[in-house]
Structure 1
């Protein structure tokens, strides 16, 4: 992807590059924003706003980090700005539970139990304070390295490791309690 980015930027083919970015990262970006705001409609709106920001900033992308890290930094900052905004603080948020369809190959009872466990884990993660939720989401759900997370959120690696350990403790307490 990075070679494609460099070639597209040199050829000034921003629209083609942006289409590729939306295809490659659209769903991940939506999941990232949802992990912050816990509301599908708000996450969709924020994701659109983030992609507009990315489109406008793309010609100035300097390759100091990889494209994914750059995109995530924009998304995380935008989500944090939203969470600090008047609009967010003065509106009651509710979150919606979505159920994925059960595969016809799965035993229905097993699939329902697995789905309940996954939903319980997701709810528990979403209840964590943002300083713990953020590294958990990036590390376990986005499969980023500690170093990538450090670059994204601007927190030292040891602090990230400590927050991950603390988050696991909190999750264990929440799920067992």
Structure 2
């Protein structure tokens, strides 16, 4: 039998069983469908490793389980950026110097008027 026909036969015969198996691991139908599709691709690529050609269900089931476990490991390693703190922008030395210069000019300008005008400005 042609490898493509074999794959088609497996998909028609075992799709629902493998989908239920994947759902038991993922608890999400869409993810389970993805895992089964990935498993069929891997099974097709490594079909030469199949020992019992009359009963491929245990072999296909193992591939589905491995796909689900691998997917869970990937999600454990992912870092959610929403939980990470915001990083303050890095200022260049020139920006820092300009800001310090501006702050100094404002400070000096506040101290220039006579005391009776300077106190209300500072208190404001």
TM range (shorter): 0.5 to 0.7
State how 1:15-164 maps to structure 2 within 5 Å.
Answer: 15-63=4-52, 66-86=55-75
Alignment TM-score, normalising by the size of structure 2: 0.56
User: Are the counterparts in 2 of residues 30 and 44 from structure 1 also a CA contact under 8 Å?
Assistant: yes
Using the alignment, how far apart are the partners of 2:23 and 2:36 within structure 1?
9
Compute the RMSD of aligned alpha carbons. 2.4
Using the alignment, how far apart are the partners of 1:14 and 1:39 within structure 2?
30
The alignment partner of 1:85 has SS state of helix
Q: Which consecutive unaligned segments of at least 5 residues does structure 2 have?
A: 81-124
State how 1:157-172 maps to structure 2 within 5 Å.
Answer: none
Q: Which runs of 4+ in 1 moved over 4 A?
A: 87-91
Q: Which consecutive unaligned segments of at least 5 residues does structure 1 have?
A: 1-7, 92-177
1:90 to partner: Cα distance: 5.3
Using the alignment, how far apart are the partners of 2:36 and 2:52 within structure 1?
22
Q: Tell me the matched-pair count.
A: 80
The alignment partner of 2:46 has SS state of helix
Question: What residue number does 2:107 align with?
Answer: none
Using the alignment, how far apart are the partners of 1:50 and 1:73 within structure 2?
9
Q: 1:65 to 1:22 in 2, by over 3 A?
A: closer
User: Are the counterparts in 2 of residues 83 and 89 from structure 1 also a CA contact under 8 Å?
Assistant: no
Using the alignment, how far apart are the partners of 1:68 and 1:76 within structure 2?
12
Alignment TM-score, normalising by the size of structure 1: 0.40
Could you report, residue by residue, the CA deviation over 1:116-172 in whole angstroms, capped at 9, with x for unpaired residues? xxxxxxxxxxxxxxxxxxxxxxxxxxxxxxxxxxxxxxxxxxxxxxxxxxxxxxxxx
